[in-house]
Structure 1
């Protein structure tokens, strides 16, 4: 039985209008490097300092520590401006799904490549909280794990394992994880969890996942679903 569901934020549970993609691309271009869409997609879902470093190098730049710090500062500024112009909102059906999972006794954790400051700002803007459910039906989660709180971001398994640590779940066979990028799926596999779900609410199509080697039949523990909202109905799939 699944005891913990670990979900990505932007593109998986939260609709940010593609703001992360735009901010990341703009921050890289401002360093003088080019950004290929395929490279940008490959590094989405990863910790953002690592993503900026890789993208700058792939785009012909030199990723010095000073440049990465400056690029991250610009990324954070651009993202904040994008979010101010178009605040993130829950993807359709997500609040109800998170509430239903917790009501069924399944803990819910969110993970992200953002820093803690950015991630908590998003949750505050949504009116979501970390902690026990409340009588006023405020959306709540059991844990939040951010990219600046682990040794390495996705595709490393540490975000998931830290979510297990914070929720007291010790058996990976009791964990399900979902995300909208290839590295989200790779992270779930690397973590050894019971179920890993790729969802189509972000920028990727089912064919994109298939091209990366992930389809419904590609891996015993991997599923591709339209949305996190479909997960409760597939919770006991083998």
Structure 2
């Protein structure tokens, strides 16, 4: 029987090394604890007399920011506060108005929370020595990403390419951003790509794209503490949070869960070995 093209694509196995690592930004490569979006969302709603909790603000993390606002407004407790303050239920015009107000708040908080995740520059050096390309993608729009890019560059890191959620038809958990990064990098084999993210939505994106996925548990959304707050904890408290955060990211379906991108090179080695043995994501 002659195999069709679709049959060939389905059964084809890639046994070469990892070619690309595609990382989220806030909470993954920059901004320990993914604080910048949370600060901006809480400030945005407070300006309108709505007191959101950090847990509520974190629930839609990883999505495009107007989608994030829409999801927060749909939460019963927030919708009730909004109706009490404004006298009406939240509608789509409110989403768009809030999104416009959100932009300057987000730009300011990105600058305030602009530090690379400890160990990331060493990881970048190790990966690039292996010839691995580094892509980025984000729920930020292009203007927000411009601020992130500038801050990261000042600190010594620049991604090879990046794709924002506003540059594709649908953001996470759809795979389109990750696929667009592959396209920009010129990588053919999805099996040669690793998606690294600190949110369940970002892991879903990578899984939907057919990539290897790595969840980061401590540097991002599952922990939520700034680096200073994390380092101030006792060893016992850190371990308690670590167990909870690892469990949360494991439930996302990630192939691997690590504390932060400082631990990524060892995972790349493991994935290279699995690929060489004929295993696929």
Fold similarity call, TM over 0.5: yes
Contact conserved, 2:107 with 2:147, CA < 8 A, in 1? no
Contact conserved, 1:16 with 1:83, CA < 8 A, in 2? no
Residues 236 and 38 from structure 1, CA distance in 2 versus in 1: closer, same or farther, beyond 3 angstroms? same
Separation of aligned partners in 2, 1:222 and 1:118: 30
Report the TM-score when normalising by structure 2: 0.72
Q: Which residue of 2 aligns with 1:226?
A: 259
**Structure 2 gaps, min length 5:** 1-16, 83-88, 224-242, 275-281
Q: How does 1:185-224 map to 2 (within 5 A)?
A: 185-193=203-211, 195-199=212-216, 200-205=218-223, 206-208=243-245, 210-211=247-248, 214=251, 219=253, 222-224=255-257
Q: Which residue of 2 aligns with 1:164?
A: 182
Q: Which residue of 2 aligns with 1:20?
A: 37
Residues 47 and 168 from structure 1, CA distance in 2 versus in 1: closer, same or farther, beyond 3 angstroms? same
Deviating more after overlay: 139-148 vs 119-128: 119-128
Separation of aligned partners in 1, 2:178 and 2:31: 21
Which structure is richer in relative contact order (CA contacts within 8 A, separation 6 or more)?
A: 2
Q: 1:53-112: CA deviations, max 9, x gaps?
A: 11112121544332122211222121223345x251111111221232122110100111
Contact conserved, 2:61 with 2:221, CA < 8 A, in 1? no
1:88 to 108, 111, 114: 114
Stretches (4+) displaced over 6 A? none
Contact conserved, 2:32 with 2:220, CA < 8 A, in 1? no
Q: How does 1:52-201 map to 2 (within 5 A)?
A: 52-58=69-75, 59-60=78-79, 61=82, 62-84=89-111, 86-127=112-153, 138-193=156-211, 195-199=212-216, 200-201=218-219
- CA RMSD of superposed structures (Å): 2.3
**Structure 1 gaps, min length 5:** 130-137
Aligned pairs, how many?
224
Separation of aligned partners in 2, 1:63 and 1:209: 35
The structure with more strand, counted as a fraction of residues: 1
Report the TM-score when normalising by structure 1: 0.84
Deviating more after overlay: 222-231 vs 199-208: 199-208
Q: Which residue of 1 aligns with 2:228?
A: none
Separation of aligned partners in 1, 2:186 and 2:266: 25
The structure having more radius of gyration, on CA atoms, is 2
Contact conserved, 1:111 with 1:146, CA < 8 A, in 2? yes
Secondary structure, counterpart of 1:81 in structure 2:
helix
Secondary structure, counterpart of 1:127 in structure 2:
helix
